[in-house]
Amino acid sequence: MAFENLIGNEKNKELLKVAVKDHNLVHSYLFTGPEGIGKDLFAKEFAQMILCAGDEKPCHICKSCIEFLGESHPDFMIIKPEDGKTIKIDQVRFMQEKIAEKPVTSEKKVYILSQSETMTREAANSLLKTLEEPPEYAVIILTTSNESKLLTTIKSRCIKIHFTPIPDEKILEYLKQHHLDSEITTNMIKQAGGSLGKLLKMTEEKEQYLGIENLLKQIETQTITQVWSQAEVLYQAKDSIISLLEYMVIVFDQELRKKDNLCYANAITIIEQAKQRILANANYDMTIDDLLLKLWEEMH
Ligand SMILES: [Zn+2]
């Protein structure tokens, strides 16, 4: 069954299924929506369906599906930012060389440009030529979580499909099915903002999030020295500090909803200020020292 392992965005599933079934495909699609909600997974499954030769697409047993699942399909390619930063013109040119050759296994050729907003200007201009005059068998799927960074001329060539965050209850259902619900707190689900990808990444760093939650719960009953001594998790988390600070905001926001006490609102302002200082490259340890001291004062 199509899209059986993907959660949410039911309307898009239907739309894409019908497009494949009715042979009503366009040459270029733009999958847009927040990070981590499965746009690339949708694009890949859509590609497999387009290329599949079976009746019930994707059938998983035809030559095309077997090649696709074995990551050796000659008519499929996924282009991602090189070194995680940008999609370069050489990558687009390579794709253009490939796309010019007739399909081998399937009737179509499908190309996914993941995080397409990272294309350099040269890469984007080069891609534009292909979007303007695509070979009749080509389907190009661009995915992006930052549509505003794409050239208008590119966007206007694509059929746009919006992906929306997955509702919390659907996420909970998924977590239960995969026996992950005990690993995750309600605040972590809130922080993920409907992004399953983000949430699953958070489970890998859950010790940090649980550590922070503990620290904040104890802040009211401890001395500042005790707080500092237990805040190693923050001092060590330089790489993920922005995400952790956002998590702290969520924790206090939940308290604020429960108790309606002004100190929680003030705490949120203090955390936001620390975030700004870190983004402005202020001294890291001093910013954390100061953050904890101000939070502690606010809570006492
Ligand atoms: Zn198949």
Domain of 54: which CATH number?
3.40.50.300
Q: What pTM did the predictor assign?
A: 0.75
What is the domain extent for residue 209? 205-299
Q: Do 222 and 288 share a domain, yes or no?
A: yes
The confidence score (pLDDT) of residue 297 equals: 95
The confidence score (pLDDT) of residue 82 equals: 86
4 lies in some domain: no
Residue 132: both structure tokens together: 């303007």
Q: Quote the ligand 1 centre to 55 CA distance (angstroms).
A: 8
290 lies in some domain: yes
Residue 42: both structure tokens together: 């949708």
Pairing of strands 76-79, 109-113: parallel
181 lies in some domain: no
Tell me the β-bridge partners of 76.
110
- Domain end call among 131, 162, 193: 162
Give DSSP secondary structure letters for 156-184. TTSEEEE--PPPHHHHHHHHHHTT-GGG-
Dihedrals phi, psi of 111, to nearest 5 degrees: -125, 130
Q: Quote the ligand 1 centre to 54 CA distance (angstroms).
A: 5
Left, alpha or beta for 144 (phi > 0: left; psi -120 to 50: alpha)? beta
The total number of structural domains in the chain stands at: 2
Q: Quote the ligand 1 centre to 40 CA distance (angstroms).
A: 19
Contact between residue 113 and residue 142 where contact means Cβ atoms under 8 Å apart: yes
Q: Quote the ligand 1 centre to 165 CA distance (angstroms).
A: 29
Q: Quote the ligand 1 centre to 215 CA distance (angstroms).
A: 52
Q: Do 38 and 102 share a domain, yes or no?
A: yes
pLDDT tens-place string over residues 263-299: 999 999 999 999 999 999 999 999 999 999 999 999 9
Q: Do 15 and 144 share a domain, yes or no?
A: yes
- Domain end call among 109, 135, 162: 162
Q: Quote the ligand 1 centre to 173 CA distance (angstroms).
A: 29
Q: Quote the ligand 1 centre to 51 CA distance (angstroms).
A: 7
The confidence score (pLDDT) of residue 202 equals: 86
Q: Do 110 and 36 share a domain, yes or no?
A: yes
Q: Do 145 and 57 share a domain, yes or no?
A: yes
Q: Quote the ligand 1 centre to 110 CA distance (angstroms).
A: 14
Q: Do 251 and 158 share a domain, yes or no?
A: no
Q: Do 84 and 144 share a domain, yes or no?
A: yes
98 lies in some domain: yes
265 lies in some domain: yes
DSSP H stretches of helix in the chain: 10-21, 39-51, 63-69, 89-100, 121-132, 152-155, 168-177, 186-192, 196-204, 206-218, 224-229, 232-235, 241-259, 262-279, 284-299
d(CA 274, CA 99): 49
Report, as ranges of residue numbers, the positions in the chain whose pLDDT lies below 50.
Answer: none
First-to-last C-alpha distance (Å) of the chain: 57
The confidence score (pLDDT) of residue 1 equals: 62
Q: Do 224 and 102 share a domain, yes or no?
A: no
Contact between residue 87 and residue 116 where contact means Cβ atoms under 8 Å apart: yes
Is the bond preceding 74 in cis, omega lying within 30 degrees of 0? Answer: no
43 lies in some domain: yes
Q: Quote the ligand 1 centre to 17 CA distance (angstroms).
A: 14
d(CA 14, CA 7): 13
Residue 41: burial class (beta carbons within 10 Å; 0-12, 13-18, 19+): middle
